[in-house]
Structure 1
Amino acid sequence: MREALIVWGGWAGHQPEECARLVAQRLEAEGFKVYVEDTTEAFADPAIRDMSLIVPMCTMWRIEKEELDNLVGAVVGGVGLGGFHGGMGDGFRESIEYQFMCGGQLVAHPGDMIDYRVTITRPDDPIMAGLGDFDHHSEQYYMHVDPAVEVLATTTFSGAHAPWTKGVVMPVVWKKRHGAGRVFYSSLGHDAGELERPEVRTILTRGLLWAAR
């Protein structure tokens, strides 16, 4: 049986505990044994190197060096890493090594909760199969992104809330490798309610399954 670790905490506005419960249920439905922890100390446990998947939900949290070293070592060694929105993309702002592994870092969401469009750029990819472009209401994440990621979906900024961003095409969903590990990220999923939207739910579930070894 494949095993997954979910670690939740950080900024409460992203409802990390509720989101952890939802993601755990989805992974259990896919046959995973899921461990849910609410402290970054879980990342320091050598046993995580035997996991199939790690899902961080740690918006604006901090991580100790030994915890980060073990987490990165697990992914480099082949453990999958997958996550969404600020829980992964704004997890540990002070750690560039973590950002290097994830493939990107949130820097702004102009206008906060707004309407925007998500464009599927890789409809041939199994994660995106059968999905079309869709309108979305949430924070439109502006991110610093590793140019080596494989982009699966994007959004285009209108400039309405930050005029200098008009026309910028920003990755929304991507996948990549980090060592022997697979890494998946989606900027969709501000809270538990958003995780229940069909497109968001499908993309995240498929992405986590892809990342898991």
Structure 2
Amino acid sequence: MTTRRALIVRGGWDGHVPVEATDVVIPFLGSQGFEIEISDTLDAYLDAERLRHTDLIVQCWSIGTVTDAQVAGLATAVRAGTGLAGWHGGIIGAFHHNTYQRLTGGQFVWHPDGFVDHTLTVAPRRTQHEIVTGIDSVELHTEKYWVISDALNDVLATVTFDHEEDGEWHESITMPAVWTRHWGAGRVFVSTVGHRVDDLLVPEIRTITERGLMWAARSHGDD
């Protein structure tokens, strides 16, 4: 059986604790047979040969600046079959670059001040998807993301912004919170939950995140 390779790309804003957050998933990936590399530079995306042999990129890099060449390297790898996965600002609050935003299928725009109680709800039509099966909803106390997203995303779970008399919306709105998408031969997994390590340790969120990583990773079948 071919050993699969995972590349952890972490850095950027320390508020999203990129090292501590990715350290949560590294043991899981190891238990699934992945050989793991870690990069603290986006220049990892310039190494085409390295990426060609990478089955999964887990990115946790917030509020950063990326070059055209770095984005092109990442997008080319995913298009050829390398999986891309991440959570929260580490993937959709990473870079203001339109090619990158098309790749991830969404962009963080705003969240209410502080941590708020809210419910992540699995989309009724997707309850049997392998990433969320057995999970109907998750009660959370953390940041709630308002995002712009691509209509072609396969939305697996949502959060709701309720209408308030003195609020900004004249009716409640439902916002994508967990989704998957395809980019060429590659798969992309995004979860908006994960501002802090405690969020990733919520049992249902941990399950969704781990399943999402496995879903996104390139499969070598039985070779």
Mapped partners of 2:139, 2:53: distance in 1: 39
Corresponding letter in the other structure for 2:103: M
Determine which of 134, 139, 142 is the counterpart of 1:135.
Answer: 139
User: Equivalents in 1 of 2:60, 2:132: separation in Å?
Assistant: 23
Q: How does 1:44-193 map to 2 (within 5 A)?
A: 44-46=46-48, 47-93=50-96, 95-121=97-123, 122-159=126-163, 162-164=167-169, 166-193=171-198
User: Does the Cα contact within 8 Å between 1:157 and 1:165 map onto a contact in 2?
Assistant: no
Structure-2 change in CA distance of 1:39 and 1:166 (3 Å): farther
> What's the CA shift string for 1:70-127, capped at 9, x where partnerless?
110000111001110000011112x010000001000000233101111111211011
Deviations 1:33-62 (A, max 9, x none): 111111111111111122100111111011
Matched residue SS, 1:4? strand
Deviation at 1:10, TM superposition (A): 0.9
Q: Deviations over 1:142-185 (max 9, x none)?
A: 00000000010011102459532741100110011001101110
1:6 to 5, 8, 29: 8
1:31-50 aligned within 5 A: 31-46=33-48, 47-50=50-53
TM-score by length of 2: 0.91
Single out whichever of 142-151 and 124-133 deviates more from structure 2. 124-133
Tell me, in whole angstroms, the C-alpha distance in 2 between the residues paired with 1:136 and 1:76. 34
DSSP 3-state at the match of 2:206: helix
CA separation in 1, counterparts of 2:73 and 2:14? 25
Taking a change above 3 Å as real, the CA distance of residues 142 and 162 of structure 1, as seen in their structure-2 partners, is farther
Question: Counterparts of 2:170 and 2:118 in 1: how far apart (Å)?
Answer: 14
Q: CA deviation at 1:193?
A: 1.8
Identity of aligned residues (%): 40
Q: Which runs of 5+ in 2 are unaligned?
A: 219-223
Which of 30, 47, 63 is the matching residue for 1:28? 30
Secondary structure of 1:163's aligned partner: coil
Q: Distance in 2 between matches of 1:22 and 1:117?
A: 23
Contact 1:20/1:36 (8 A) holds in 2:
no
Q: Provide the alpha-carbon RMSD of the alignment.
A: 1.3
Q: How far apart, in 2, do the equivalents of 1:170 and 1:130 lie?
A: 21
Q: Cα distance, 1:134 vs. partner? A: 2.0
Deviation at 1:133, TM superposition (A): 1.2
Q: Size of the alignment, in residue pairs?
A: 212
Please give the secondary structure, in 2, of the residue aligned with 1:164: coil
User: What amino acid sits opposite 1:178 in the alignment?
Assistant: W
Q: Which amino acid aligns with 2:57?
A: I
Extract unaligned runs of 5+ from structure 1: none
> Max radius of gyration: which structure?
2
Shift in alpha-carbon separation, 1:61–1:123, aligned structure 2, 3 A: same
